[in-house]
Amino acid sequence: MKQHRLLILLVVLLTVLTVTLVAAQDAVELRITWYNDGNEGEVLRELLDRFEADNPGITVVLDDIGYADPNVYHSTIQAQVEAGDPPDLARVNNVALFIGDYLDLRPLVKDATYYETSFSEAVLNSLRAGENDTGIYGFPLQFTITAPFINRTLFEQAGIEVPSDTRDDVTWDEWAEAAKQVADATGTPFAIAYEPRGHRFWGFVISEGGSWFDEEGNFKVDSPGFRTAAEKLIGWNQNGLSDATIWANLPDGPSLARDQFTNGQVVFLYSGSFAVGGLANAIGDTFDWSAVPNPSGPGGSTGSPGGSLLVAFAGTKHPEEVARLMDFLTQEEVLAEFSQRSSFLPGHLGLAEKGLDYEANADVLKVLSAEIPKIHEQAYRLQYSEYAFTYNRPIDNRLSQVIVGDLTLDDAIIAIQQDVDEAIKNAQAG
């Protein structure tokens, strides 16, 4: 008798387990692999709620897997794509990684020409497999421009003019000097925090007169401009203008740099437009801050362009629903709201031209928008190359070694070139 009872119990238990493990799926569920720089996830969620209300039977889930390391983020998606189990959509920056695995939206969306006229051709091309490929695989969620931010309250306390308030072109040395004076006068621990990412370094090198390509158009790191920029960066770290920990501990570096700025521990931060929402949120009312134009040099004044894209993967089981979602999200009003509330620069050409009425951080974003036309052609070439990310990591890895004294700058230059060449060779091997 007892055995019977046990048997029943067992069966019940097993059934419960199976029912919980095998979740029933009636409605179409779209999944977006995602990360957050600021509040954009919350904004998008609200927009998606509206989409779901208009399209009963479709639910959209945001999977925030964190962006602590950009390469881990992309490797995770890459592994899923290769294994034939990709998310339906994803927010990605390293778009070259998935070329050939994207879903072509051209036959699925309502109006393909709208995509072609609304988004930059360079961006759409960066998703394509070659010149004959005319597919539409995604769209830019935001446009990024790297630029400096300053703590204006510290300038005011020190009684020092903000250089760019009175002049157009301010050199890196002038900024460094001004920031140092402010830091000294106000007892702020550091003058400059430079986000330790190779990408943030592209523009710096170009404005110091450097070039990133040789005559045949191949990536070449060694140039007088690279040396000048690198020596400046190394100098700030050695002279105590910067906290060398930022470059010494690369994984934590970017958040450490921004934490120092939001905590009022540094006068001048080099970051990018993607950070505005997060900075504003963390700073709140504790001090006044703003973006300032990129410093200039013999090569002009330029930041590095960038931005993240929302792409669709061919492995999806619901291509039509994905296209419907894309059509919804790319609408001008929707993108306008998304950009405004997330404090993002729009990737939509029409919106960029019109300009947006930002509710918050309007002044900061105005300065940043003005930086876009100044972007150097080489900076675009780096960003929209299929090896954009390959030109990134070796630079910060090796400069980090120079800053802590592991390598000389000469050896670092050789090493960056080797690392990039080796990675390209490996990528081409298949």
Partner 1 sequence: MRTVLDFLTNTRGKRQLSRGDWITYIYLSLGTVLMFGPVIWLALSSFKPQSQLVRFPPTLLPYRQETVTVAGYEQPLDLYTVTLPNGTTRRLAQVSRVGIEARMIDPAQPDEIITVNIKDRQPVESLYFGADNYLRGVVAFDFWRYFRNSAIVTVVSTLITLLVNSMAAFGLSKYRFKGRDVIFVIILSTLMVPLSVILVPVYLVINEIGWNNNLIGVIVPAAATPTGVFLLRQYMLTIPDELLDAARIDGASEWRIYWQVVLPLAGPALAVLAIFSVTWRWNDFLWPLIVLSRKELFTLQIGLNSFQGEFNTQWDMVLAMTVLTLLPITVVFAFLQRYITTGIATTGLK
Partner 2 sequence: MTDIPYDKPRVVRFRLPLGFLSDLLHGAMHLVDLVVVPVQRRLGTQRMAYFFVLPNLLIFAVFILLPMLLNFYYAFTGGSALYPQDRPFVGTDNFEALFNCQNVFSPNPTTCQEDIFWRAVLNTGTFVVFQVGGMVLFALVTALALNRKIRWRGFFRSVFFYPVLLSPVVVALIWKWILQRDGLLNALLIAFGSDRIQFLLDPNWARFWVIFVSIWAQMGFYTLILLAGLQSIPAELYESAQIDGASSWNRFRYVTLPLLMPTLLVVVVLSLIRAVQVFDQAFALTGGGPGTATTYVVQYIYNTGFTSTSRQAGLAAAASVVLAGVLMLLTVTQLRLGRRAEVEET
Residues that bind partner 1 (CB under 8 A): 21, 31, 33, 35-38, 61-70, 76, 79-80, 83-85, 87, 152-153, 156-157, 254-255, 258-259, 262-263, 265, 275, 278-279, 281-282, 285-286, 288
Residue 271 CA to residue 146 CA, distance in Å, equals 6
What does 405 bind: partner 1, partner 2, none (CB cut-off 5 to 8 Å by kind)? partner 2
Candidates 74-82, 106-114, 122-130, 323-331: pick the segment binding partner 2 (CB under 8 A): 74-82
Least Å distance, CB 174 to partner 1, is: 23
* Residue (200 or 348) nearer to partner 1, CB: 200
| 139 Cα distance to chain centroid | 14
What does 10 bind: partner 2, partner 1, none (CB cut-off 5 to 8 Å by kind)? partner 2
Q: What is the x/- site pattern for partner 2, positions 379-398, by CB under 8 A?
A: ----------xx-xx----x
* 420 close to 226: Cβ distance less than 8 angstroms: no
Member of 42, 49, 64, 82 binding partner 2 (CB under 8 A): 82
Least Å distance, CB 399 to partner 2, is: 10
Least Å distance, CB 405 to partner 2, is: 7
Structural tokens at position 224: 């007088």
Place of tokens 């692999």: 33
Place of tokens 């995509």: 115
What does 415 bind: partner 1, partner 2, none (CB cut-off 5 to 8 Å by kind)? partner 2
Member of 248, 280, 282, 360 binding partner 2 (CB under 8 A): 248
Q: Rule CB under 8 A: say whether 235 interacts with partner 2.
A: no
Least Å distance, CB 282 to partner 2, is: 16
What does 163 bind: partner 1, partner 2, none (CB cut-off 5 to 8 Å by kind)? none
* Residue (69 or 121) nearer to partner 1, CB: 69
Member of 93, 94, 120, 262 binding partner 2 (CB under 8 A): 94
Residue 101 CA to residue 204 CA, distance in Å, equals 34
Residue 111 CA to residue 237 CA, distance in Å, equals 52
Residue 8 CA to residue 6 CA, distance in Å, equals 5
Q: Rule CB under 8 A: say whether 69 interacts with partner 2.
A: yes
Q: What is the x/- site pattern for partner 2, positions 2-41, by CB under 8 A?
A: xx--xx-xx--x----------------------------
Least Å distance, CB 79 to partner 1, is: 5
* 241 close to 191: Cβ distance less than 8 angstroms: yes
Q: Rule CB under 8 A: say whether 72 interacts with partner 2.
A: yes
What does the binding site for partner 2 look like in residue numbers (CB under 8 A)? Answer: 2-3, 6-7, 9-10, 13, 69, 71-72, 75, 78-79, 82-83, 94, 243-245, 248-253, 389-390, 392-393, 398, 400-401, 403-407, 411-412, 414-415, 418, 422-424, 426-427, 429-430
